[in-house]
Chain A
Amino acid sequence: MASLPKRIIKETERLVTDPVPGITAEPHDDNLRYFQVTIEGPAGSPYEEGLFQLELYLPDDYPMEAPKVRFLTKIYHPNIDRLGRICLDILKTNWSPALQIRTVLLSVQALLASPNPNDPLANDVAEDWIKNEQGAKQTAREWTQRYAKK
């Protein structure tokens, strides 16, 4: 494998020495651009007490191109689809090379705390969230219990 850019090495080191509360990110031994990630559901959100597994990959053009991130744990959230894809502006059009793995994962954690059902990601969950927010949050809590229990 081609040698790893210094920037990625530094970011990885810092994730270990100075971890973000509620978030872990560890590279796979055989692919240092591929991270196994966990995010704790934020307190006060329907995801509280859940531990969510994600995967993150730094493409060849990183940091010119955004990391690729996906939920592995099933989650009921208006901005995350059934395949675990995340609708988050900084992962698409608003990516900037000044952002890092750490900031991306913090943004994902923030998205769990404040779902945005008005985002154009059209899916049945977003509709449910707009029509019946309490019911949708209850479903999200049930899914957290069922699929993301620590």
Chain B
Amino acid sequence: MSKIPRSFRLLEELENGEKGFGPESCSYGLTDADDNTMTNWNGTILGPPHSNHENRIYSLAIECGPNYPDEPPKVKFISKINLPCVDQTSGEVVAKNFHTLRDWKRSYTMQTVLLDLRKDMATATNKKLPQPEEGSTF
């Protein structure tokens, strides 16, 4: 397999996001439609059912730096959430505490990150964690 360059990879992800391919439980798009470096993205995760996150919509900010996808994006929750991998002051997803960012592979996408975060919300221990008031932000 050859290495698809950053920009064409991000254009593919953008198209998949715009066309609404993939699951309905998460979405993502460019923060600024004019930014041709395609660095800043916003994402949403629909809280998984049968958990304290049920029916909540979480907003996130995703930053794909110049070395993406060789390096993972920086991911930060805007909506307040109580999860072990999320820094409780900044909302940042701490890479060393979140396997998808820690063991990053070039084939992973923003969608991988969002779906894996959603899975993390639904684990036996995390789904029962008390959650901040809905709608509060970091």
Check A83 against B2 for contact (C-beta < 8 Å).
no
Check B11 against A70 for contact (C-beta < 8 Å).
yes
Check B36 against A72 for contact (C-beta < 8 Å).
yes
Binding site for B on A (CB under 8 A): 1-2, 31, 33-34, 55, 57-60, 68, 70, 72, 74, 82-85
Task: Decide yes or no: A1 and B3 within 8 Å by CB, A82-B36, A83-B38 being known contacts.
Answer: yes
Q: Can you list 12 A-B pairs, Cβ within 8 angstroms, ordered by A? A: A1-B2, A1-B3, A2-B2, A33-B2, A55-B5, A60-B1, A68-B8, A70-B8, A70-B11, A82-B34, A83-B14, A83-B33
Check B4 against A57 for contact (C-beta < 8 Å).
yes
Residues of A within 8 A of B1 (CB): 2, 60
Closest to B2 in A: A33
Of the residues A2, A58, A59, A83, contact of B36 by C-beta under 8 Å: A83
Task: Decide yes or no: A70 and B7 within 8 Å by CB, A82-B34, A82-B36 being known contacts.
Answer: yes
Residues of A within 8 A of B2 (CB): 1-2, 31, 33, 58-60
Closest to A30 in B: B3
Residues from 82 to 129 in B contacting A, C-beta threshold 8 Å: none
Contact with A along B11-49 (1 / 0, CB 8 A): 100100000000000000000011010100000000000
Say whether chain A's binding surface is mostly helix, strand, loop, or mixed.
loop
A135→B126 CA distance, assembly (Å): 59
How far apart are A45's CB and chain B's nearest CB, in angstroms? 22
Residues of B within 8 A of A83 (CB): 11, 14, 33, 36, 38
Check B5 against A82 for contact (C-beta < 8 Å).
no
A55→B5 CA distance, assembly (Å): 10
Check B3 against A31 for contact (C-beta < 8 Å).
yes
Of the residues B5, B11, B34, B38, contact of A34 by C-beta under 8 Å: B5
Residues of A within 8 A of B38 (CB): 83
Check B4 against A74 for contact (C-beta < 8 Å).
no
Check B5 against A57 for contact (C-beta < 8 Å).
yes
Residues of B within 8 A of A72 (CB): 36
Closest to A4 in B: B2
Residues of B within 8 A of A58 (CB): 2
A70→B7 CA distance, assembly (Å): 9
